[in-house]
Amino acid sequence: MKCIYCGCEDSKVIDSRAVEETNSIKRRRECSCCGKRFSTFETVEMTPVMVVKSNGERQAFNPNKIKTGIMKACEKRPVAMKDIDNLVNEIEKKIQNLLQEEVSSKVIGEMVCEGLKNLDEVAYIRFASVYKQFKDISTFYEFINEFEDRLKNKK
């Protein structure tokens, strides 16, 4: 890190502390050349992720949209907000860990479905019924039967 006083490129870290509000680290440094001290802040660089929708449209990834969809699916269900927030954070981490600039809405929808399946079965079916856009009642009925079979095989 370059010293702000003399421009020397050699400094040592004296102290590091996490800054919770900004999710960064504050480092107290001392210049090896002039001996003066200064502070730096280190943050993780997040690459913006674009969501490619089914119609080809692209828009910036917004975790609040996921949260809204999950909250609608969990409406009048015994699911705590903490659990919803945890699921949204988990999905957001998975998307960031893909290290891709673009992610299809289908991939995100599957992540939400998988998370809801483990969180609340009714919420999962509600979300899936909107997300999968069933053409008619018979395809929805097939989906329910497959889900029911998977539940029976799990037990």
Q: What is the pLDDT of residue 155?
A: 61
pLDDT at 16: 93
pLDDT at position 105, please?
Answer: 94
**First and final CA of the chain: distance in angstroms?**
57
Q: What is the dihedral of CA 115, 121, 123, 127, to 10 degrees?
A: 70
pLDDT at site 145: 81
Q: What is the pLDDT along the chain (155 residues), one digit of tens a residue?
A: 899 999 999 999 999 998 877 778 999 999 999 999 999 998 877 778 999 998 999 999 999 999 999 999 999 999 999 999 999 999 999 998 888 999 999 999 999 999 999 899 899 988 988 877 777 788 877 888 887 777 777 76
DSSP string, 44-86: PPPPP-EEE-TTS-EEE--HHHHHHHHHHHTTTSS--HHHHHH
pTM, full prediction: 0.66
List C-alpha distances in Å: 48 to 61, 99, 102, 154. 8, 10, 9, 38
